[in-house]
Amino acid sequence: MATQPTPDDARPPAFMQRVIENPFLLLFLGVVIPTVFYILWGVIEIVSILVAPS
């Protein structure tokens, strides 16, 4: 005897669907990700500056 397939409504939503449907999480990610990249970019630029000979 074959088992009945479960309807789509019985399964929990996929991870990415939950992320996309959460506006506060999207706002948080939209602020944090560019901030982290700009900070890292700035640190790399500062580290790459050559020290002037004295």
- Please give the pLDDT value at position 11: 85
Cα–Cα distance for residue pair 28/21, rounded to 1 Å: 13
User: CA 8, CA 14: separation in Å to the nearest integer?
Assistant: 11
How far is residue 13's CA from residue 31's CA, in Å, rounded to a whole number? 25
pLDDT band at 52 (very low <50, low <70, confident <90, very high): confident
pLDDT digits (tens, 9 = 90+) for 31-49: 999 999 999 999 999 999 9
Domain boundaries, the chain: 16-47
